[in-house]
Amino acid sequence: MDEMTNVMTMDEMTNVMTMDEMTNVMTMDEMTNVMTMDEMTNVMTMDEMTNVMTMDEMTNVMTMDEMSNVMTMDEMTNFMTMDEMTNVMTMDEMSNVMTMDEMTNVMTMDEMTNVMTMDEMTNVMTMDEMTNVMTMDEMTNVMTMDEMTNVMTMDEMTNVMTMDEMTNVMTMDEMSNVMTMDEMSNVMTMDEMTNVMTMDEMTNVMTMDEMTNVMTMDEMTNVMTMDEMSNVMTMDEMSNVMTMDEMTNVMTMDEMTNVMTMDEMTNVMTMDEMTNVMTMDEMTNVMTMADQKMMIFSSNVVTKLSLPCLANTVKRSTENKMI
């Protein structure tokens, strides 16, 4: 071989012998010694080249740029495994020489997550592409909740997973951190919301205003007891969010007198309303004798009382004194 290269140029050598003849008379080392990569690719097709050298030999004699120049992605994936490909090129190089479609065609999701970090993955594909190539389970396996909220907006997140899936992959704290109350009420019904959080959690993540905005009075009374309701809102708030009818529907007279003082009761309902919702016995039970006298002789209150009601009150007052 030394003698041959001494007496003729590469052009002369390729003129007088075919590629088969050349590979017959010299080893791969000899061939790469006597010609550059350009010369080699000029004198043989890709098929011929892959026939005469192994993948190791090929990667030894040419850079990734050279390799991607002389063969298509199909050719490259045909003669090397995914392991070989990831061994010979970085993720940057891989994303440069193939499209996302090509990449997902030649490797499984497991392989992809093995060869690149989450940062690299989000760099080489859009959110649409990512949701196309992996299921929600796969996505939650390869990234933490922080990473997920970093790479997609709330709209995108609600598009790619159901409410069940969302509550499975994040705690209530995480959910309230990544979305506003408006967003939360948009993506789940009241039933779903009460299913995924306790009353304590609900009052922690939203103000009373927000709570009354996202649920009707019926819904509110369904999800919390009277005790819970009186714990999470003041009497003012309660009277703001429900009418007197609603209030008397959701609590007994005992409950009402437990959660508000007489002052509060007279503040939130007229005398007519008060006489409608409680018997005279109940009324006299919840107020002291002083309260009764004040009500009887207060012109504001007396004008609201009917004569029979006033007569009954005076009669009871007299009977009490006699006893």
pLDDT at 234 over 50: yes
pLDDT at 295 over 50: no
Q: Is residue 66 part of a domain?
A: yes
User: Alpha-carbon distance 19 to 7, whole Å?
Assistant: 19
Residue 232 φ then ψ, to 5°: -95, -10
Q: Is residue 284 part of a domain?
A: yes
User: Alpha-carbon distance 311 to 211, whole Å?
Assistant: 45
User: Alpha-carbon distance 286 to 281, whole Å?
Assistant: 9
Q: Is residue 39 part of a domain?
A: yes
User: Alpha-carbon distance 249 to 200, whole Å?
Assistant: 24
User: Alpha-carbon distance 165 to 222, whole Å?
Assistant: 25
**Where a domain ends, among 29, 59, 89?**
89
Better pLDDT: 283 or 321:
283
Q: Is residue 196 part of a domain?
A: no
Band the pLDDT of 294: cuts 50, 70, 90. Answer: very low
* Axis-axis angle for helices 289-297, 307-322 (nearest 10): 140
Structural domain span for residue 295: 270-323
pLDDT at 317 over 50: no
**Where a domain ends, among 56, 89, 122?**
89
pLDDT at 1 over 50: no
Q: Is residue 274 part of a domain?
A: yes
Number of folded domains that form the chain:
2
User: Alpha-carbon distance 208 to 239, whole Å?
Assistant: 13
DSSP string spanning 157-190? HHHHS-HHHHHHHS-HHHHHHHS-HHHHHHHS-H
Q: What average pLDDT score do residues 176-190 get?
A: 55
User: Alpha-carbon distance 197 to 203, whole Å?
Assistant: 10
| HEC secondary structure over 16-55 | HCCHHHHHHHCCHHHHHHHCCHHHHHHHCCHHHHHHHCCH
For the entire predicted model, the pTM comes to 0.21
**Where a domain ends, among 37, 62, 89?**
89
Q: Is residue 36 part of a domain?
A: yes
Band the pLDDT of 222: cuts 50, 70, 90. Answer: low
Tell me what the pLDDT averaged over the chain comes to.
54
Which of 9-13, 21-25, 296-300 shows the lowest mean pLDDT across its residues? 296-300
pLDDT at 177 over 50: yes
Q: Is residue 232 part of a domain?
A: no
Q: Is residue 319 part of a domain?
A: yes
CB neighbours of 172 closer than 8 A, spacing ≥ 6? 196, 197, 201, 205
